[in-house]
Amino acid sequence: MSAPAFVYLDHNATSPLRPEALDAMAEALRAGGNPSSVHRVGRAARARVEAARRQVAELVGVLPAEVTFTSGGTEANNLALSGSGRRRMLVSAVEHDSVLRAATNTEIVAVGGNGVVDLATLEKMLRSSREPALVSVMFANNETGVVQPIADVVRLASKAGALVHCDAVQGAGKVPLDLHALGVDYLSLSAHKLGGPTGVGALVVRSGAPLIAGQLGGGQELNRRAGTENVAGIAGFGAAAVAARGGLDVAGLRDRMERTLLAIAPQACVFGAETPRLPNTTCITMPGVKAETQVMALDLAGVCVSAGAACSSGKVTRSPVLLAMGVDATVADTALRISLGWNSAAGDIERLIEAWRDLYIRVNSSDIVRARAA
Ligand code: PLP
């Protein structure tokens, strides 16, 4: 069998659509219908939306009524931050832009060198004002995969009467998640990070937590988010949530890949390696080689990876996440993100290793030639 044209190791940017999700979407698109219509076509569309709500709820251990569908993780984050009614917001330094930019009266909570939020600092900040706050700390980081101690964040926040929002866009479907065990008030999800379609997500709002709607209109989603539901997208999200229930079993592959890359380049560094991380994410430097050069060289070799977070312009910018972890700017510029997913196989990793090794040898041998010539 010939090798595939390319291998895809950028699941934290978006994960390819799972076949189950594609089937559910095709069925919903063929059937059509507005879930608010009273007739049979409308009722069938409503049934699809409510089935998906149960499936998404089950993925994160909540009641279906706690799930509000949105247009994605970005909207879910915006809705939580603008809708909690809290003006004072304590936000970790490594949050996604959709949290950092949606927050108002923002106070940034520092992280340590391992990318984990500094709990002592958070506690001090919570104590520094009587104004009730909203704390927003992500479940796991999109660039490093570092998992945050959410239960500890909730413990500190509840002592201070603060609400807690958790952006679980990167954690859901990769590791088991349970909103009630975590104790958070708001949880953001995105379908396309777990093998569902782009353009659909959810905000889970714990029963009893306040939520002021941001988008007004027809009263859909229990008046929390108006607008005719994206039925096919929601159906695809539900099917992907079912398929993702067991989480990702790729830690063994990922760890083997990291050991091999570090054996090739012993000066390379894997960020967050000493702390709990998602099983699928590696953020690794190739010393002296800019991340964009690595991304282009690997792409030419048929390997899709990325340089930190994908931004809308497609430009590679210096990673604020690594800078917040105290990483030197020139080192941060050499960090590559490799993220595995539901269809990753050993052959994909071999191809990545080969391409990475070739580039490393090429760059270093041209350095030697230059040094000799100098
Ligand atoms: N939060 C995190 C941690 C993410 O990684 C992303 C996407 O990259 C988002 C939020 C935004 O999700 P969406 O693309 O569904 O708007």
Say what the pTM is: 0.96
317 pLDDT band (50/70/90 cuts)?
confident
Q: Could you read off the pLDDT of 19-55 as tens digits, one per residue? A: 999 999 999 999 999 999 999 999 999 999 999 999 9
Q: Measured in angstroms, how far is the CA atom of residue 201 from the centroid of ligand 1?
A: 9
Q: Which of 20, 136, 38, 155 shows the shortest CA–CA distance to 89?
A: 136
Q: Cα of 99 to ligand 1 centre, how many Å?
A: 9
Could you tell me the distance, in angstroms and rounded to a whole number, from the CA of residue 286 to the centre of ligand 1? 26
For ligand 1, residues with CB inside 6 Å are 72-74, 77, 96, 98, 138, 142, 167, 169-170, 190, 192, 201
154 three-class SS? helix
Asked if residues 35 and 69 have their Cβ atoms less than 8 Å apart, the reply is no
Q: Which of 190, 198, 281 to mutate to test the pocket of ligand 1 (most atoms within 8 A of CB)?
A: 190
CB count, 10 Å around CB of 21?
A: 29
One of 166, 269, 283, 311 is an active-site residue; which one?
311
Detail the DSSP E strand segments found in 123-273. 133-136, 163-167, 186-190, 201-205
Distance 244 CA to ligand 1 centre (A): 17
pLDDT for the residue numbered 366: 73
Q: In what order do the strands lie in the sheet with 67-70?
A: 67-70, 201-205, 186-190, 163-167, 133-136, 88-92, 106-109
CA distances from 150 to 228, 237, 296, 336 (A): 34, 25, 36, 26
- Say how many Å lie between the CA of residue 109 and the centre of ligand 1: 20
Closest residue by Cα to atom 14, ligand 1, is 73
Between CA 213 and CA 160 the distance in angstroms is 25
Segment 256-288, tens digit of pLDDT = 999 999 999 999 999 999 999 999 999 999 999
311 given a catalytic annotation: yes
- Side-chain-facing half-sphere of 229: CA atoms under 13 Å: 34
Atom of ligand 1 nearest to the CA of 74: 16
92 in helix, strand or coil?
strand
Confidence of residue 372 (pLDDT cuts 50, 70, 90): low
Return the best residue to mutate from 17, 74, 77 for the ligand 1 pocket (most ligand atoms within 8 A of CB). Answer: 74
Q: What is the pLDDT of residues 109-120, one digit of tens each?
A: 999 999 999 999
